[in-house]
Amino acid sequence: MALSAAHMNAVYCITAVSLAVNSILIFFICKHTVAEFGRYKRLMLIFTVFNIAYSIVQAVTMPAIHVYEMSFFVFACGLGVVPNAVNRFATAVFCSTFAQSLYLLALHFLYRYIQVVRPRARFLFESPSYVAMLVALYVFVAADYGAVCFFNFGPSSIKDVYFGDQMQMSYNLSIEEVGYLGPIYVLNSEVQWLDVLGLVNVSLVIGSTLAVIPLCGVAISRCLHKQEVTSKKTKELQVQMFRLLLIQLHKQKGQKQIEMKCDSMTDAVVLLLCDGAPVMRLTLNETVSAFTHGMNT
């Protein structure tokens, strides 16, 4: 449809590898993880299972992003002929997985921070009521991000006109036939408040989760460098788990290989909002790139 067969086959191959690798990781986590890892073992399992779910969502939806001037639109290419509402919903689900991945990664850092720096706060991950709150917060983040993408960034008559030519020229599709999502913040000096409010919402979600990672990471690093912090054996174990967490973070970033230049603020926002989808940008030579974080552990 919108993407080449080679491109789609590459995504399917990456998904297959991701499923295999993460399945092996689940086996090793369950069978060969030392007992000292405790509840962190469950967090690793949750993150690995999420990676599998993300890979499946990406392979099924096959989302593509088209950047145009100071805006963009995204739609699912892998669902075939479905109602526009279904296409929009599937695209919103994919976008929501980005917020979910950030939340889970931030939760990893928060857990290690509490274990190393604030052991008195371990009740946050031990008390059933607090664990239920963390689960509820995860559901809220996922639902909020997806709902904002679906409702605030959904189609409108203004967007149909603005994106119509691009959809026809690049994909040979009528804009009315595609359930796309695409924010337009300002058009003809007129602020599109629904999209602006959506941007504020997703920025708060992303910003709050991203803030946890460096704050906790720096605090953990400082604490581990203090010789008196704990026994030698415990400290070595904490250092190993912190390094594992850093490797996990760097792999998540490293797997997202981009074959395009972010030469405008719009490109950066696109990558931030939709994370990991194929991107098309009209430059001197059109390029399409696909990348995944389905293997980020």
Residue 166 inside a domain? The answer is: yes
pLDDT at position 69: 81
Q: Is pTM, for the whole model, over 0.95?
A: no
Residue 77, helix vs strand vs coil: coil
pLDDT in tens, 170-183: 888 899 888 999 99
User: Residues 92-100: what's their mean pLDDT?
Assistant: 93
Domain extent, residue 153, equals 5-232
Mean pLDDT for the stretch of residues 161-174? 89
Note the pLDDT tens digit of each residue in 217-237: 888 888 877 755 456 655 565
Say which CATH number the domain at 10 has: 1.20.1070
Q: Where are the beta strands (DSSP E) in 152-205?
A: 186-187, 190-191
Specify the higher pLDDT residue, 45 or 150: 150
pLDDT band (50, 70, 90) for residue 286: very low
% pLDDT > 90, the chain: 37
- What pLDDT score was predicted for residue 283? 32
Q: CA torsion 75→76→77→81, rounded to 10°? A: -100
Axis-axis angle for helices 84-116, 265-274 (nearest 10): 80
Mean pLDDT of the chain: 78
Decide if 208 is inside a domain: yes
Q: Is a pLDDT exceeding 70 seen at residue 55?
A: yes
Instruction: Let me know if residue 97 belongs to a domain.
Output: yes
Instruction: Supply the pLDDT for residue 171.
Output: 85
Residue at 150: amino acid letter: F
Does residue 277 form part of some domain?
no
Of the listed ranges 42-46, 57-61, 142-146, 163-167, the least confidently predicted one is: 42-46
Please give the Cα distance from 64 to 76 (Å, whole number): 6
Q: State the pLDDT confidence band at 4, using cuts at 50, 70 and 90.
A: confident
Pair 172, 62: CB distance under 8 Å? no
Residue 214 inside a domain? The answer is yes
Say what percent of the chain tops pLDDT 70.
Answer: 73
Q: Are 220 and 116 in contact (CB under 8 A)?
A: yes
Q: For residues 286 and 253, which has the higher predicted lDDT (pLDDT)? A: 253
Is there a domain that residue 207 lies in?
Answer: yes
Q: Tell me the per-residue pLDDT of 185-218, one tens digit each, with 9 for 90 and over.
A: 988 888 999 999 999 999 999 999 889 988 988 8
Q: What pLDDT shows up at residue 131? A: 92
Q: Which of 226, 60, 72 is nearest to 149 (CA)?
A: 72
| Domains identified in the chain, total number | 1
Give domain status of residue 250, yes or no.
no
Is 284 among the domain residues?
A: no
